[in-house]
Protein backbone atom coordinates (compact mmCIF):
# COMPACT_ATOMS: atom_id res chain seq x y z
CA UNK A 1 0.00 0.00 0.00
CA UNK A 2 1.20 3.52 -0.78
CA UNK A 3 0.13 6.97 0.32
CA UNK A 4 2.03 9.51 -1.75
CA UNK A 5 1.79 13.06 -0.46
CA UNK A 6 4.16 14.11 -3.23
CA UNK A 7 1.76 13.03 -6.00
CA UNK A 8 -1.42 13.00 -3.92
CA UNK A 9 -2.57 9.42 -4.44
CA UNK A 10 -3.47 6.36 -2.37
CA UNK A 11 -2.75 2.92 -3.80
CA UNK A 12 -4.81 0.24 -2.04
CA UNK A 13 -3.23 -3.11 -2.75
CA UNK A 14 -5.60 -6.01 -3.42
CA UNK A 15 -4.58 -9.67 -3.36
CA UNK A 16 -3.31 -11.83 -6.25
CA UNK A 17 -3.55 -9.00 -8.80
CA UNK A 18 0.13 -8.09 -9.43
CA UNK A 19 -0.10 -5.47 -6.69
CA UNK A 20 3.45 -6.10 -5.51
CA UNK A 21 4.85 -5.35 -8.97
CA UNK A 22 2.89 -2.09 -9.15
CA UNK A 23 3.88 -1.13 -5.62
CA UNK A 24 7.56 -1.77 -6.36
CA UNK A 25 7.44 0.34 -9.53
CA UNK A 26 5.63 3.21 -7.82
CA UNK A 27 7.89 3.10 -4.77
CA UNK A 28 10.86 4.25 -6.86
CA UNK A 29 9.14 7.61 -7.27
CA UNK A 30 8.30 8.03 -3.58
CA UNK A 31 10.26 9.97 -1.00
CA UNK A 32 10.04 12.59 1.70
CA UNK A 33 6.87 12.02 3.70
CA UNK A 34 5.40 9.44 1.30
CA UNK A 35 4.38 6.10 2.84
CA UNK A 36 5.17 2.69 1.32
CA UNK A 37 4.48 -0.49 3.30
CA UNK A 38 7.40 -2.97 3.55
CA UNK A 39 7.71 -6.39 1.93
CA UNK A 40 9.29 -9.55 3.31
CA UNK A 41 12.67 -10.33 1.75
CA UNK A 42 11.68 -13.46 -0.15
CA UNK A 43 12.80 -14.63 -3.59
CA UNK A 44 9.39 -13.94 -5.07
CA UNK A 45 9.68 -10.28 -4.08
CA UNK A 46 12.85 -9.87 -6.16
CA UNK A 47 13.10 -9.45 -9.91
CA UNK A 48 14.42 -12.01 -12.42
CA UNK A 49 18.01 -10.96 -11.62
CA UNK A 50 17.47 -11.41 -7.89
CA UNK A 51 17.58 -7.66 -7.32
CA UNK A 52 15.67 -5.96 -4.51
CA UNK A 53 13.62 -3.25 -6.25
CA UNK A 54 11.06 -2.22 -3.63
CA UNK A 55 11.51 0.88 -1.48
CA UNK A 56 9.61 0.91 1.83
CA UNK A 57 9.33 4.12 3.87
CA UNK A 58 7.39 5.87 6.65
CA UNK A 59 4.64 3.23 6.85
CA UNK A 60 4.30 2.70 10.60
CA UNK A 61 0.74 1.70 11.44
CA UNK A 62 -0.11 0.66 7.87
CA UNK A 63 0.03 -2.81 6.30
CA UNK A 64 0.44 -4.30 2.83
CA UNK A 65 -3.20 -5.26 2.41
CA UNK A 66 -5.08 -2.73 4.51
CA UNK A 67 -8.73 -2.66 3.33
CA UNK A 68 -10.12 0.61 2.02
CA UNK A 69 -12.24 1.17 5.13
CA UNK A 70 -9.16 0.79 7.33
CA UNK A 71 -7.14 3.22 5.21
CA UNK A 72 -10.00 5.71 5.36
CA UNK A 73 -10.08 5.37 9.15
CA UNK A 74 -6.33 5.95 9.48
CA UNK A 75 -5.93 9.03 7.28
CA UNK A 76 -7.37 12.55 7.72
CA UNK A 77 -10.62 13.17 5.79
CA UNK A 78 -8.95 15.75 3.54
CA UNK A 79 -6.46 13.11 2.36
CA UNK A 80 -9.09 10.42 1.75
CA UNK A 81 -11.39 12.85 -0.01
CA UNK A 82 -8.72 14.82 -1.86
CA UNK A 83 -6.22 12.21 -3.05
CA UNK A 84 -6.57 10.05 -6.17
CA UNK A 85 -7.41 6.54 -4.92
CA UNK A 86 -6.89 3.40 -6.97
CA UNK A 87 -6.70 -0.37 -6.63
CA UNK A 88 -6.58 -3.46 -8.91
CA UNK A 89 -9.08 -6.12 -9.97
CA UNK A 90 -8.69 -9.38 -11.88
CA UNK A 91 -10.87 -11.93 -13.61
CA UNK A 92 -12.26 -13.80 -10.58
CA UNK A 93 -11.75 -17.33 -11.93
CA UNK A 94 -8.16 -16.52 -12.89
CA UNK A 95 -7.52 -14.87 -9.52
CA UNK A 96 -8.71 -17.92 -7.57
CA UNK A 97 -6.39 -20.24 -9.51
CA UNK A 98 -3.56 -17.84 -8.66
CA UNK A 99 -4.70 -17.74 -5.03
CA UNK A 100 -4.70 -21.55 -4.86
CA UNK A 101 -1.17 -21.72 -6.31
CA UNK A 102 -0.01 -19.14 -3.77
CA UNK A 103 -1.55 -20.98 -0.83
CA UNK A 104 -0.15 -24.32 -2.01
CA UNK A 105 3.43 -23.04 -1.51
CA UNK A 106 3.36 -23.77 2.19
CA UNK A 107 0.44 -26.18 2.54
CA UNK A 108 1.32 -29.81 1.71
CA UNK A 109 -2.36 -30.74 1.71
CA UNK A 110 -2.85 -28.58 -1.39
CA UNK A 111 -0.01 -30.19 -3.35
CA UNK A 112 -0.27 -33.36 -5.48
CA UNK A 113 1.57 -36.31 -3.93
CA UNK A 114 2.66 -39.58 -5.48
CA UNK A 115 1.20 -42.57 -3.70
CA UNK A 116 2.81 -45.99 -3.37
CA UNK A 117 1.10 -47.27 -6.53
CA UNK A 118 2.69 -44.42 -8.49
CA UNK A 119 6.10 -45.15 -7.04
CA UNK A 120 5.63 -48.75 -8.15
CA UNK A 121 5.11 -47.68 -11.74
CA UNK A 122 1.50 -46.55 -12.21
CA UNK A 123 1.40 -43.32 -14.27
CA UNK A 124 0.92 -40.17 -12.17
CA UNK A 125 -1.17 -37.36 -13.68
CA UNK A 126 -0.01 -34.42 -11.58
CA UNK A 127 -2.33 -31.88 -13.18
CA UNK A 128 -5.38 -34.11 -12.73
CA UNK A 129 -4.58 -34.33 -9.02
CA UNK A 130 -3.99 -30.56 -8.90
CA UNK A 131 -7.45 -29.98 -10.38
CA UNK A 132 -9.04 -32.24 -7.75
CA UNK A 133 -7.30 -30.38 -4.94
CA UNK A 134 -8.14 -27.02 -6.47
CA UNK A 135 -11.85 -27.80 -6.63
CA UNK A 136 -11.79 -28.79 -2.96
CA UNK A 137 -9.95 -25.55 -2.18
CA UNK A 138 -12.66 -23.51 -3.93
CA UNK A 139 -15.26 -24.94 -1.53
CA UNK A 140 -13.25 -23.70 1.47
CA UNK A 141 -12.66 -20.42 3.26
CA UNK A 142 -11.11 -17.68 1.12
CA UNK A 143 -11.92 -14.02 0.47
CA UNK A 144 -12.69 -11.93 -2.57
CA UNK A 145 -11.14 -8.47 -3.06
CA UNK A 146 -14.23 -6.36 -2.32
CA UNK A 147 -12.71 -4.89 0.82
CA UNK A 148 -10.07 -3.06 -1.19
CA UNK A 149 -12.34 -1.10 -3.50
CA UNK A 150 -16.00 -1.60 -2.53
CA UNK A 151 -17.92 -0.02 0.37
CA UNK A 152 -21.67 -0.37 0.81
CA UNK A 153 -21.93 -2.04 -2.59
CA UNK A 154 -20.31 0.82 -4.51
CA UNK A 155 -16.79 1.62 -5.67
CA UNK A 156 -14.94 3.68 -3.07
CA UNK A 157 -11.88 4.43 -5.23
CA UNK A 158 -11.46 6.72 -8.23
CA UNK A 159 -9.93 4.16 -10.58
CA UNK A 160 -9.50 0.39 -10.74
CA UNK A 161 -6.65 -1.08 -12.74
CA UNK A 162 -7.59 -4.28 -14.54
CA UNK A 163 -5.01 -7.03 -14.33
CA UNK A 164 -5.80 -7.97 -17.93
CA UNK A 165 -4.58 -4.57 -19.17
CA UNK A 166 -2.10 -3.89 -16.41
CA UNK A 167 0.45 -1.72 -18.22
CA UNK A 168 -2.19 0.29 -20.09
CA UNK A 169 -4.14 1.11 -16.93
CA UNK A 170 -0.99 1.85 -14.94
CA UNK A 171 -0.01 4.30 -17.68
CA UNK A 172 -3.35 6.03 -17.12
CA UNK A 173 -2.73 6.21 -13.37
CA UNK A 174 0.69 7.74 -14.00
CA UNK A 175 -0.83 10.29 -16.36
CA UNK A 176 -3.39 11.32 -13.74
CA UNK A 177 -0.91 11.71 -10.87
CA UNK A 178 1.95 13.20 -12.88
CA UNK A 179 4.39 10.30 -13.02
CA UNK A 180 6.42 9.10 -16.04
CA UNK A 181 5.53 5.79 -17.66
CA UNK A 182 6.70 2.97 -15.40
CA UNK A 183 8.15 -0.39 -16.34
CA UNK A 184 6.63 -3.19 -14.30
CA UNK A 185 8.95 -5.76 -12.70
CA UNK A 186 7.82 -9.38 -12.77
CA UNK A 187 7.43 -10.47 -9.15
CA UNK A 188 5.77 -13.49 -7.49
CA UNK A 189 5.85 -15.40 -10.79
CA UNK A 190 6.48 -19.09 -11.44
CA UNK A 191 4.18 -20.46 -8.73
CA UNK A 192 1.44 -21.72 -11.04
CA UNK A 193 1.59 -24.73 -13.37
CA UNK A 194 2.13 -23.54 -16.92
CA UNK A 195 0.53 -24.89 -20.08
CA UNK A 196 -3.05 -25.26 -18.87
CA UNK A 197 -5.97 -23.04 -19.79
CA UNK A 198 -8.01 -21.52 -16.99
CA UNK A 199 -11.10 -23.52 -17.93
CA UNK A 200 -9.28 -26.82 -17.25
CA UNK A 201 -9.36 -26.14 -13.51
CA UNK A 202 -13.10 -25.76 -13.17
CA UNK A 203 -16.24 -27.82 -13.21
CA UNK A 204 -19.69 -26.24 -13.07
CA UNK A 205 -19.89 -26.30 -9.26
CA UNK A 206 -16.50 -24.64 -8.64
CA UNK A 207 -17.18 -22.12 -11.39
CA UNK A 208 -20.44 -21.08 -9.73
CA UNK A 209 -18.87 -20.79 -6.27
CA UNK A 210 -16.31 -18.33 -7.62
CA UNK A 211 -19.00 -16.36 -9.45
CA UNK A 212 -21.16 -16.14 -6.33
CA UNK A 213 -18.33 -14.90 -4.11
CA UNK A 214 -17.29 -12.31 -6.70
CA UNK A 215 -20.74 -10.88 -7.40
CA UNK A 216 -19.44 -7.32 -7.17
CA UNK A 217 -16.58 -7.94 -9.59
CA UNK A 218 -18.99 -9.40 -12.12
CA UNK A 219 -21.46 -6.56 -11.63
CA UNK A 220 -18.97 -3.68 -11.60
CA UNK A 221 -16.47 -4.88 -14.20
CA UNK A 222 -18.44 -7.27 -16.40
CA UNK A 223 -16.12 -10.25 -15.99
CA UNK A 224 -17.10 -13.51 -17.66
CA UNK A 225 -15.68 -17.01 -17.50
CA UNK A 226 -13.03 -17.45 -20.17
CA UNK A 227 -13.36 -20.39 -22.57
CA UNK A 228 -10.46 -21.77 -24.68
pTM across the whole model: 0.88
Averaged pLDDT, 57-72 = 96
Q: What is the pLDDT of residue 100?
A: 95
Decide if 39 contacts 45 (C-beta within 8 A).
yes
Q: Is residue 63 located within the same domain as residue 4? A: yes
Contacts of 18 (CB under 8 A, 6+ apart): 88, 90, 163, 166, 184, 187, 188
Q: Is residue 116 located within the same domain as residue 34? A: no
Backbone angles phi, psi at 36, to 5 degrees: -135, 120
Number of domains in the chain: 2
Q: Is residue 172 located within the same domain as residue 123? A: no
Q: What is the pLDDT of residue 32?
A: 93
Instruction: Report how far apart, in Å, the C-alpha atoms of 148 and of each of 66, 72, 145, 195, 207 are.
Output: 8, 11, 6, 31, 23
Decide if 112 contacts 129 (C-beta within 8 A).
yes
Q: What's the pLDDT band for 175 if we cut at 50, 70, 90?
A: very high
Q: What is the pLDDT of residue 105?
A: 85
Boundaries of domain holding 123? 92-143+197-228
Q: Is residue 135 located within the same domain as residue 208? A: yes
- What CA dihedral angle connects 154, 95, 97 and 227, to 10 degrees? 90
Q: What's the pLDDT band for 127 if we cut at 50, 70, 90?
A: confident
Q: d(Cα 31, Cα 216) in Å, to the nearest integer? A: 35
Between 12-26, 91-105, 187-201, 208-222, the lowest mean confidence (pLDDT) is in 187-201
Amino acid sequence: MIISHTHKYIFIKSEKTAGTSIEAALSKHCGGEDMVTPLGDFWFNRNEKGEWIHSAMNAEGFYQHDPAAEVKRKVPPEIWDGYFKFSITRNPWDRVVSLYSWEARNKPELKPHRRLRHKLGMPFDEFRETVRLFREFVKGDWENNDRFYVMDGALCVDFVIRYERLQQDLDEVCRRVGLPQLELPRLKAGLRQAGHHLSEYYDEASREIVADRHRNDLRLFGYEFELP
